Amino acid sequence: MPSKPILIYKLTPSQIALVDRLAGAENGLVLDDMEYREVVVWQELDKLGMVRTNPKRRKLAIVLTELGKQVRANGYFSKKPVVRLTEPQIAALRFLAGGPRGYNEMPSHMVDVCRRLGLRGWAEWQGDIHGPRWMRITPAGWQVLKLVDNGDGPGVRLRKE
């Protein structure tokens, strides 16, 4: 029986980067100018109520809400969980902690999980001038993994105390 997901209350590195970018943009960010990762993060933050679209502009723009500003002022900690860390994600973090892994080294059931970890900023692709060759865990991913491993299992709450 799978255990319950671990609730994380701190924004992921990708969420923090978008919140900071929105905080610096006076009129918000035009959706057309956002990267794929930012669009995924925008959708997550929109569900949490931290960002909204600005319909007054000719092109769709994303702006930070008051809740988003409060979370930023609170050190990027939310009162509601921002991510639910599942067993497959923890297993993928442990897999990547063993060293950089090439795409062909990843078990098929981990490919999409690792891609999602990359979108959150807990893992990243690295390579050379010929393109990305391997994925590795980031310092933020190490932090999450250490907190999970040092915690008491499924009841761990990664939040500001």
Domains detected in the chain:
8-73 (1.10.10.10), 84-158 (1.10.10.10)
Closest among 75, 79, 72, 62 to 27, alpha carbons compared? 62
30 beta partners: 61
One-letter amino acid at 114 equals C
Sorting pLDDT into bands at 50, 70 and 90, what band is 118? very high
Sorting pLDDT into bands at 50, 70 and 90, what band is 44? very high
Check whether 156 has a pLDDT greater than 70.
no
pTM value is 0.84
Closest among 147, 148, 141, 109 to 125, alpha carbons compared? 141
